Amino acid sequence: MEHEGFIVPPPGLIPDTVEAPPRPAPAVAPASFPTFAPVSAPAPPPDPVVPADEAAPHGPWVLALDDGQRFQVGGSLVLGRDPAPVPVRQHATLVPVVDPAKSVSKTHAIVDLEGAELSITDLHSTNGVLVTDAHGAEHDLDPGERVVLSPGDKVELGTFAVRVERA
């Protein structure tokens, strides 16, 4: 071996000159950008699917109670024969109802208005809460269950009726 102790690169690996001249850059066509045409005005919205006479009214929510009371709902209402404040809704309005049949619990249910949605929750009442919609479908709430109300619904607290309306 003639180069003992040295590693010799294979032929052609090392260029003949130390600094080879740079290769010329290939020619590139100038960039082209898309052109945009003006947009016409948007189309008007389609007609509503629900006829106007069937559309839900947008006035305030009103509860009409069997004992003659009417309440415009502006927040949370606790309904019962002698309602007590509810820990989760300390600032709820207490609404005592006159129920000669005594089917309404002392603190029976809470009605909540959140945004435009009205709901009722059974507060573990003795005789339950039954919601009947405008088409006659019934929903018997489980203790602690919440259901969203619609205009025309009838709510029964025991045997005491409450009608849900929009003013």
Per-residue pLDDT tens digits of the chain, which is 167 residues long: 565 777 877 877 776 666 666 778 788 888 777 777 776 766 676 666 655 555 555 679 999 999 999 989 999 999 999 999 999 888 999 999 999 999 999 999 999 998 889 999 999 999 999 999 999 999 999 999 999 999 999 999 999 999 999 98
Is residue 162 in some structural domain?
yes
Is residue 56 in some structural domain?
no
Exposed, middle or buried, 32 (CB in 10 Å: 0-12/13-18/19+)?
Answer: exposed
Exposed, middle or buried, 162 (CB in 10 Å: 0-12/13-18/19+)?
Answer: buried
Is residue 91 in some structural domain?
yes
Exposed, middle or buried, 131 (CB in 10 Å: 0-12/13-18/19+)?
Answer: buried
Q: What is the pLDDT of residue 99?
A: 93
Is residue 133 in some structural domain?
yes
Is residue 49 in some structural domain?
no
Is residue 122 in some structural domain?
yes
What is the β-pairing status of strands 76-80 and 93-96? Answer: parallel
Is residue 30 in some structural domain?
no
d(CA 110, CA 95) in angstroms, rounded, equals: 10
Domain with 123 in it: what CATH number?
2.60.200.20
Q: What is the pLDDT of residue 2?
A: 61
Q: What is the pLDDT of residue 106?
A: 96
Range of the domain at 89: 61-166
Q: What is the pLDDT of residue 63?
A: 95
Q: What is the pLDDT of residue 46?
A: 65
HSE-CB at 163 with a 13 A cutoff on CA atoms is 11
Q: What is the tally of structural domains in the chain? A: 1
Is residue 144 in some structural domain?
yes
d(CA 134, CA 150) in angstroms, rounded, equals: 8
